[in-house]
Amino acid sequence: MESLEKHFLIASPYMLDPNFQRTVVLMVQHSEEGAFGLVINRPTDKLLKDLWREINSSPCDSEEPVHLGGPVPGPIMAIHTDPELGDKEIIPGVYFTLDNSAVDRLVRQQEHRYKVFVGHSGWGPGQLEREMKVGAWLTLPATAEYCFHDQSEIWSVVTHAIGRDLLVTGLGLKRFPHDPTVN
């Protein structure tokens, strides 16, 4: 199977796992050894300023929510738009970091967009491929716009984008109206 890095996994209506229903996962890594991603549309009730009080001696004032990146526990991670603080560029203009000092700098600044995650989504060798074969996931090339889109709407937005793309390709259309009901 071709690598799904630089893509979103979008939970299909056939997704039965409650950890992933109506989720959009940004794929950070995908190879024969397995896959790693972050659910971008699962904010928790905890704010960054509250988390920082628990883990850092100097507080931050960020009112941003902490996101649940998936059911697998792990270190605090972030996606963001600051190339200087990125460990890896996931897609053009969007970076990933695990570095605590880089995440600390991100949450204290106002210039760059970011999301901070606890937990992640992980699949062992062949596991994601099996889920794809049974129709649990849809895919779409990832974009910075969608990474930082309103998380309450992103699943619907990307699902509609996939449907539009399928119609345009399947019917051989040159254009497709944004809202077909106005035809």
Q: Do the Cβ atoms of 147 and 37 come closer than 8 Å?
A: no
- The secondary structure of residue 165, as a DSSP letter, is H
pLDDT at 168: 41
- Specify the CATH architecture of the domain 7-182: 3-Layer(aba) Sandwich (3.40)
Question: So where are the chain's domains?
Answer: 7-182
What percentage of residues in the chain have a pLDDT greater than 70? 88
Global pTM reads: 0.88
Q: How many separate helices (H) and strands (E) can be counted in the chain?
A: 5, 11
Considering only CA atoms, which of 108, 23, 21, 27 is closest in space to residue 64? 108
Q: Do the Cβ atoms of 97 and 82 come closer than 8 Å?
A: no
Of 173 and 45, the structure prediction assigns the larger pLDDT to 45
For range 71-82, the mean pLDDT = 96
Q: Do the Cβ atoms of 65 and 53 come closer than 8 Å?
A: no
Neighbouring C-beta atoms of residue 144, cutoff 10 Å: 15
